[in-house]
């Protein structure tokens, strides 16, 4: 159970709505039980005397130590009754709120006997000076005539639920609200506006103005190409081959924004395939993993061969496993083997054959 409280200040400027302060009060209930086995019932009844009790061993519930007090003859008024009480043994606390139930147990299954169980009517406050229970828990005659007294022994169970309240104070509200990081937004704006561009990347018929420092910071390949011993630092235009302009544009967007531009649904797989190759080429590990993850979620009969080829060529173990998992189904494998690219796969990626052989064995088994 939890409750919330709030307070507002009355000296706010006119028209302002003050922010309330808040805290939470959480009440937790912790339960447990203890079984007390009373042997030598007859001797205790006769020999203890009026007002004398037997104390159980201590047991821990809710972080507190408890004991059971058993009176075979608490007073002259209760001479024919068993009295039973729960007492707090801890010496470090003054008040503990708890509810309790005492039950006579069946010897055969050690389960409570419903007609001989009694519960506190409400939550009680326990301390070192008081205890709670039942003066007339059960008549001695009823116990002695019942099957629950066996070999001069009976068992009692005490269930205890301790209630604790915890006040949770919120962290102080910061005086200054700090926004999330937005460097990628500024770099993305720099790319789109072209301000300060000091190099042009020529990809086919399209030119992409960019910034040497940004490219080098994001890609070890660009770092070597622009600032290494064999760098083209003095060139204003660098020609990039073997990549489509649209793919390079998406990769450049990622370099500056750390995210990919929106792609049409029917282009998602093809773009991910090309970007995986480009990311591996330029050492963009995060982009490579993003592309691999996209391809893993799009493995089907039309993409499995291409995806497996890419996985083998660019060391993508996760994608490779996704493809083999898809082909573990005999129907899927048959469709893949009948595709145009399967023969090329077996010729260009010989390492794949061993794995495929194990797939064949599992399907044949």
pLDDT for the residue numbered 34:
95
Distance CA 227, CA 286 (A): 23
pLDDT for the residue numbered 12:
47
pLDDT for the residue numbered 18:
63
Q: Residue 14, Cβ neighbours under 10 Å: how many?
A: 4
- Are 223 and 216 in contact, with CB atoms under 8 Å apart? yes
Q: What kind and span of H or E run contains 88?
A: strand 81-88
pLDDT for the residue numbered 362:
62
Distance CA 79, CA 45 (A): 10
Sheet holding 206-210, edge to edge: 206-210, 199-203, 237-240
Distance CA 168, CA 26 (A): 7
| Sequential pLDDT tens for the chain (365 residues) | 544 544 444 444 445 556 666 666 777 889 999 999 999 888 888 878 888 888 898 999 988 899 999 998 888 787 889 999 999 987 666 789 999 999 999 988 889 999 999 999 999 999 878 889 999 999 999 999 999 999 999 999 999 999 987 666 666 666 888 889 999 999 999 999 999 999 999 999 999 999 999 999 999 999 999 998 876 667 889 999 999 999 999 999 999 999 999 999 999 999 999 999 999 999 999 999 999 999 999 999 889 989 999 998 999 999 999 998 898 888 888 888 888 777 777 776 767 666 666 666 665 55
pLDDT for the residue numbered 43:
87
Distance CA 29, CA 7 (A): 28
Going along the chain from its start, the domains and CATH numbers come out as 25-168 (2.60.210.10), 183-364 (3.30.710.10)
């Amino acid at each position: 159970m939890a409750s919330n409280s709030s307070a507002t200040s009355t000296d706010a400027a006119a028209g302002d709505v003050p922010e309330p302060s808040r805290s939470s009060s959480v009440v937790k209930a912790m339960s447990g039980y203890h079984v007390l086995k009373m042997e030598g019932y007859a001797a205790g009844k006769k020999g203890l005397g009026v007002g004398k009790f037997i104390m159980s061993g201590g047991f821990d519930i809710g972080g507190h130590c408890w004991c059971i007090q058993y009176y075979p003859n608490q007073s002259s008024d209760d001479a024919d009754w068993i009295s039973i009480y729960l007492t707090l043994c801890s010496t470090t606390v003054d008040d503990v709120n708890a509810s309790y139930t005492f039950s006579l147990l069946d010897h055969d299954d050690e389960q409570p006997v419903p007609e001989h169980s009694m519960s506190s009517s409400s939550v009680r406050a326990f301390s070192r000076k008081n205890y709670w229970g039942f003066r007339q828990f059960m008549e001695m005659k009823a116990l002695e005539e019942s099957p629950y007294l066996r070999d001069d022994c009976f068992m009692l169970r005490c269930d205890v639920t301790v209630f604790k309240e915890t006040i949770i104070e919120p962290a102080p509200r910061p005086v200054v609200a700090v926004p999330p990081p937005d460097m990628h937004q500024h770099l993305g704006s720099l790319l789109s506006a072209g301000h300060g561009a000091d190099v042009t990347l020529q990809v086919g018929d399209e030119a992409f103005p960019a910034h040497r420092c940004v490219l080098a910071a994001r890609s070890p390949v660009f770092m070597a190409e622009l600032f290494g011993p064999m760098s083209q630092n003095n060139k204003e235009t660098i020609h990039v081959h073997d990549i489509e302009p649209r793919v390079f544009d998406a990769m450049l967007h990622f370099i500056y924004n750390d995210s990919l531009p929106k792609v049409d649904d029917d282009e998602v797989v093809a773009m991910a395939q090309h970007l995986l190759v480009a990311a591996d080429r330029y050492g963009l590990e995060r982009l490579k993993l993003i592309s691999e993850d996209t391809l893993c979620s799009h493995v089907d009969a039309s993409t499995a061969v291409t995806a497996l080829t890419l996985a083998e060529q660019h060391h993508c173990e996760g994608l490779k496993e996704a493809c083999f998992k898809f082909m573990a189904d005999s129907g899927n494998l048959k469709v893949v083997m009948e595709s145009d690219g399967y023969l090329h796969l077996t010729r260009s990626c010989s390492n794949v054959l061993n794995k495929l052989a194990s797939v064949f064995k599992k399907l044949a088994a």
